[in-house]
């Protein structure tokens, strides 16, 4: 009876448990999600979309399924059944599954219906659908793939690298596409969906190596494909060439494209000195060394193109024709050298192999020294023989990456209770000169480890076999890791940190906190952080928050941030651990707390896109405040800060634009998120992902408009007056409304007036000085003068020193092929009304004197006129048009211009003035910024040699013999000398005309003359620099007949004024 009763009770409890399980398995609906599902769905359908998935998992707080359903209604155009939308969107975190399904349309409705759901349900991007549609579209027998095979390949993608690999195979026809899928699936990429350098590495290699298939030498297409796929791009894109490789003669220009491929191509140059006195059978002094198959093995996964080649050359050349320091007598055959030097960074493996004599077989020594940077592994292995008796495996493991014998010294003197494996863990990676640091750390923390909460009963001082408790073993592993150079950059500082850590911490948290502490100086700040931290904070969050403190101010700022983040932030709610993570990066300026406050102020649960602002996003954005944001704000660029960026994203309606869940953290970490948001709006895309953000971030700035920032006049007035100096500061704005920045000074902005203004006004001064120290978007045009009053059009143009002008949809005028500037394009034009100076009379009525003068019929001979250069004599005849005006202008007006004028008996006006005055008033013959160097010197491409110096023509000669070559060079030198004479003569004449010393006493022209002379000097320097470069090239070609600085063709640095 008792037994029966107990059985009934047990059965009742079991039944109740089953009932309870059934009750708890009821789908859980996210009400916030239901509110955002389009109204076209019924209430039951909304609940299904926003409920837990079929596996019973609970939905999160996001409204991803609602976003997915909204996009599905638009993309699928109502042609899909609700069951399809439900499968795609239930449990989705974004609209990616629907977008992936939409990409399948290119594959046809049959394949889409059969494979679309299986491919896209649970997808986090459109990549699977793109992959399936693209590869399915390949035509040709060798490119067609069965849909079932293609489904497995596309479902396995985590980044774009495998797909780019398949595309390269198809483009190069290296192998059949179906044959390449399994191999391309193994490509290691960056983890992103973009075409980053990591993702394109294998494809780049395939493109380079496509012509290297040589079946007769044993190199098949499959070998080439395997070679490119197995190379890890992260290993060489992050690698820097060793210092001792800088003098190697091999070309390394293209290493950044694909180092393994470049290594293979350049390894064909590797030769071995011939044993017959250094001369091979073909008389070249060298003989081929490696077969194509051996070269593939040598360069597989090479970090640099030069490392394996340098190692191979050093290992095989025994001093014949090489420096003693570059050769090591390894005694190895080429095949054995290939195994030794595979993937080497320098000649270290060869040096190590020589030092490892009598330490094992060739195979063991090769395994030890492969990848070595110097002879360190051999030295370490020899020293560690007594520690690792009959245990060559652990001995090699300790020394295989050593740079000295210090790891072996450390293992020899390590505590006796450590096992062989633990000695390897403790002493591996010990740098030279620090063999005792790890041991001292371990001895120092042995006693301190028992003072913490949750301290292990046995950790240090016991043999490993006696540690039965798993926690004791875990604590011991943490201590060993903390005291090793694999875990800490300074084990001594880590030991001091551990001994000084508060006892309120858990033992393991203290060990984690003190691992990899930079220096002992930070310990006191960590102690202060723990001492003033609220008591309700646990060990884990305390160790996270305090491990990065570097000063008292930073400790106080981090604590203030953490307490406010964990208690006052309502949405999203941060846990103490999350608050510790984000506030650990706080500084004295309070940037992290400011970011959190911006989020708390601008985001709430009712925000239209609040689903984007998760605690993880807030932690990621606010803990990595961009330094570029602060720099941009300091330069006056209007930007929004990361917290404001998150608030702005949350406020945007999901009915207009939908952001992928990965967008906020990436977008708001940019230096200028506001510009990126403006760009995204202009893209007019319904769904925005990280690739779209990258497109906007990398979009080149264009000058779109300008606005006046400051106007300074000579008399501190508010209007520009004729003949008076003024300065104009303009703010340059790009296509996104932000300041245009040019930190490298690549662009040249210049000002000018419309040449057809009725009063004949001319702009004087230094008209282009976009030279703000930080390129902060302010164009400063200083010390300008407009010669005549009246309305003018003030134009701003831009040219580039690199050839690309940052202006969109503008028309410009050519700068006549200047080497130093590109085509000048108009950026902005202002209409100015220049006021008349009330003190000085207007000169406009008398400009005709300088515009219409002529030489008298009975003038002296041209030679006599030339002898008076740069003085000009001319006259204006007394005809009906000029008689009265001649009388009016012969007086004070022309005298003010420094023009001597007098009337003849018949009323004609004679004028005498310095050459250049007419150019200043009329603009004709005035050097201008937009002119080429030739035009500024008055050389209008009349000489072929001058044109070649200025870059407007390029001589192309292909001599057929040495004699022809010598004659061609001789003729070129003659033309160059003639051009140099012409340049010197033109510069001398322009200097006589525009040198400021020759305008002494004419103060009204000082500014204009200074600007003109600077332009002339710039032109002369540009042309002489081109000439010097041509002479250097001529010398490199074997021409030693270039005249010296004192010879006939030498150009003076500055003309001699007389």
8 A C-beta contact, residue 441 and residue 483: yes
State the pLDDT at residue 841: 59
State how far Cα 123 lies from the chain centre. 30
pLDDT for res 19: 42
Q: Is the peptide bond before 68 cis (omega within 30 degrees of 0)?
A: no
Q: Which residues pair with 792 in a beta bridge?
A: 832
Determine how many CB atoms are found less than 10 A away from the CB of residue 323: 7
Whole-model pTM? 0.61
Q: Which helix (H) or strand (E) holds 112?
A: helix 109-120
Question: pLDDT tens digit string along 220-278?
Answer: 999 999 999 887 665 555 443 333 333 333 333 333 468 899 899 988 888 765 343 33
Cα separation, 160 vs 198, in Å, equals: 10
* 284-336 pLDDT per residue, tens: 445 567 899 999 999 988 888 889 998 998 888 754 334 444 556 778 888 99
Reading the block at residue 46, the tokens are 């909304």
Task: State residue 244's pLDDT score.
Answer: 38
pLDDT the model gives residue 109: 87
What's the confidence (pLDDT) of residue 968?
57
Q: Is 720 strand, coil or helix? A: coil
* Residue recorded with tokens 């350098």: 197
Question: Do the beta carbons of residue 1051 and residue 984 sit within 8 Å?
Answer: yes
Distance (Å, rounded) from C-alpha 354 to C-alpha 365? 9
Torsion, CA 654, CA 657, CA 663, CA 669, rounded to 10: -100
What pLDDT score does 1029 carry? 59
Q: What are the Cα distances from residue 269, in Å, to 25, 250, 287, 307, 470?
A: 70, 9, 10, 14, 57
Low-confidence residues of the chain, pLDDT below 50? 1-24, 56, 58-59, 238-256, 274-285, 319-325, 626-628, 630-637, 770-774, 809-821, 941-964, 1036-1058
Alpha helices in 827-932 (DSSP H): 848-851, 862-867, 883-889, 892-896, 917-922
Spatial distance between the Cα atoms of 51 and 659, rounded to a whole number of angstroms: 22
Q: What is the pLDDT of residue 55?
A: 53
């Amino acid at each position: 009876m008792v037994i029966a009763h107990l059985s009934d009770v047990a059965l009742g409890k079991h039944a109740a448990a089953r009932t309870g399980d059934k009750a708890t398995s009821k789908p859980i609906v996210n009400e916030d999600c239901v509110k955002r599902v389009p109204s076209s769905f019924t209430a039951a359908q909304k609940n299904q979309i926003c409920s837990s998935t079929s596996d019973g998992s609970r939905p999160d707080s996001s409204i991803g399924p609602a976003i997915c359903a909204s996009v599905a209604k638009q993309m699928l155009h109502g042609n899909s059944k609700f069951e399809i939308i439900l499968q795609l969107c239930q449990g989705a975190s974004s609209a990616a599954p629907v977008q992936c399904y939409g990409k399948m349309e290119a594959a046809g409705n049959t394949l889409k219906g059969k494979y679309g759901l299986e491919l896209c349900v649970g997808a986090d991007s459109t990549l699977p659908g793109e992959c399936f549609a693209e590869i399915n579209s390949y035509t040709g027998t060798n490119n067609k793939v069965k849909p079932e095979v293609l489904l497995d390949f596309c479902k396995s993608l985590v980044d774009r690298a495998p797909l780019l690999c398949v595309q390269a195979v198809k483009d190069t026809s290296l192998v059949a596409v179906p044959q390449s899928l399994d191999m391309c699936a193994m490509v290691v990429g960056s983890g992103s969906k973009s075409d980053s350098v990591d993702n394109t590495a294998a494809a780049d290699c395939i493109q380079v190596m496509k012509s290297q298939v040589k079946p007769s030498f044993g190199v098949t297409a499959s070998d080439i494909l395997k070679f490119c796929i197995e190379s890890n791009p992260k290993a060489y894109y992050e690698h820097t060439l060793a210092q001792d490789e800088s003098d190697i003669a091999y070309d390394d220009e293209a290493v950044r494209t694909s180092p393994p491929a470049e290594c293979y191509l350049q390894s064909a140059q590797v030769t071995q000195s011939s044993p017959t006195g250094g001369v091979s059978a073909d008389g070249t002094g060298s003989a081929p060394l490696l077969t194509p198959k051996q070269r593939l093995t040598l360069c597989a996964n090479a970090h640099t193109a030069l490392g394996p080649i340098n190692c191979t050359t050093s290992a095989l050349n025994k001093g014949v024709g090489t420096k003693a320091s570059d050769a090591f007598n390894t005694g190895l055959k080429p095949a054995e050298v290939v195994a030794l030097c595979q993937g080497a960074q320098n000649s270290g493996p060869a040096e190590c192999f020589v030092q490892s004599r009598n330490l094992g077989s060739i195979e063991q020594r090769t395994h030890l020294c492969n990848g070595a940077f110097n002879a360190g592994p051999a030295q370490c292995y020899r020293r560690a023989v007594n520690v690792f008796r009959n245990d060559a495996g652990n001995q090699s493991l300790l020394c295989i990456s050593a740079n000295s014998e210090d790891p072996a010294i450390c293992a020899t003197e390590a505590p006796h209770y450590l096992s062989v494996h633990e000695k390897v863990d403790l002493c591996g990676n010990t740098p030279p000169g620090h063999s005792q640091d790890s041991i001292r750390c371990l001895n120092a923390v042995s006693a301190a480890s028992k003072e913490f909460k949750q301290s292990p009963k046995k950790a240090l001082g016991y043999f490993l076999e006696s540690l039965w408790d798993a926690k004791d073993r875990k604590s011991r592993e943490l201590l060993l890791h903390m005291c090793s150079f694999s875990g800490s950059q300074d084990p001594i500082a880590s030991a001091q940190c551990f001994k000084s850590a508060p006892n309120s911490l858990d033992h393991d948290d203290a060990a984690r906190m003190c691992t990899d502490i930079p220096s002992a100086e930070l310990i006191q700040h960590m102690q202060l952080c723990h001492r003033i931290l609220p008591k309700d904070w646990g060990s884990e969050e305390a160790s996270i928050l305090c491990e990065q403190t570097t000063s008292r101010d930073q400790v106080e700022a981090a604590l203030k941030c953490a307490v406010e983040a964990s208690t006052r932030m309502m949405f999203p709610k941060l846990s103490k651990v999350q608050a510790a993570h984000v506030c650990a990066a706080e500084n004295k300026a309070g940037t992290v707390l400011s970011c959190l406050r911006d989020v708390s102020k601008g985001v709430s649960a009712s925000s239209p896109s609040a689903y984007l602002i998760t605690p993880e996003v807030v932690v990621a954005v606010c803990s990595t405040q961009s330094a570029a944001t602060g720099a941009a704000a300091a330069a006056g660029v209007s930007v929004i800060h990361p917290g404001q960026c998150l608030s702005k994203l949350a406020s945007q309606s999901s009915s207009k634009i939908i952001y992928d869940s990965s967008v906020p953290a990436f977008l708001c970490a940019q230096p200028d998120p506001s510009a990126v948001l403006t760009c995204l709006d202009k893209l007019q895309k319904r769904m925005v992902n990280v690739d779209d953000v990258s497109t906007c971030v990398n979009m080149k700035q264009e000058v779109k408009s300008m606005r006046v920032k400051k106007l300074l006049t000579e008399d501190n007035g508010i209007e520009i007056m004729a003949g008076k100096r003024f300065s104009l500061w303009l703010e340059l704005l790009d296509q996104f409304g932000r300041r245009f920045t040019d930190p490298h000074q690549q662009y040249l902005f210049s000002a000018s007036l419309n040449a057809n203004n009725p009063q004949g006004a001319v702009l004087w001064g230094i008209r282009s000085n976009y030279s703000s120290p930080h390129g902060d978007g302010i164009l400063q045009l200083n010390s300008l003068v407009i010669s005549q009053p009246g309305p003018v059009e003030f134009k701003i143009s831009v040219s580039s020193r690199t050839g690309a002008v940052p202006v969109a949809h503008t028309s410009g005028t050519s700068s006549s092929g200047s080497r130093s500037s590109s085509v000048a394009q108009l950026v902005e034009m202002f209409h100015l009304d220049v006021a008349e100076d009330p003190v000085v009379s207007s000169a406009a009525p008398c400009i005709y004197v300088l515009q219409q003068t002529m030489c008298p019929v009975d003038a002296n001979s041209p030679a006599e006129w030339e002898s008076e250069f740069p003085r000009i004599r001319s006259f204006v005849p007394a005809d009906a048009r000029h008689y009265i005006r001649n009388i009016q202008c012969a007086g004070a007006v022309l005298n003010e211009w420094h023009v001597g004028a007098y009337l003849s008996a018949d009323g004609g006006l004679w004028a005498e003035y310095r050459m250049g005055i007419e150019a200043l008033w009329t603009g004709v013959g005035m050097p201008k910024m937009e002119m080429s160097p030739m035009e500024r010197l008055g050389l209008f491409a009349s000489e072929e040699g001058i044109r070649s110096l200025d870059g407007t023509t390029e001589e192309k000669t292909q001599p057929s013999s040495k004699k022809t070559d010598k004659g061609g060079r001789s003729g070129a030198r003659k033309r160059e000398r003639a051009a140099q004479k012409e340049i010197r003569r033109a510069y001398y004449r322009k200097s006589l005309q525009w040198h400021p010393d020759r305008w002494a006493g004419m103060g009204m022209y000082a500014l204009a003359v200074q600007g003109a002379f600077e332009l002339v000097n710039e032109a002369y320097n540009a042309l002489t620099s081109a000439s010097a470069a041509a002479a250097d090239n001529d010398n490199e070609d074997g021409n030693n007949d270039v005249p010296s600085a004192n010879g006939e063709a030498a150009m003076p640095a500055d003309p001699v004024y007389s």
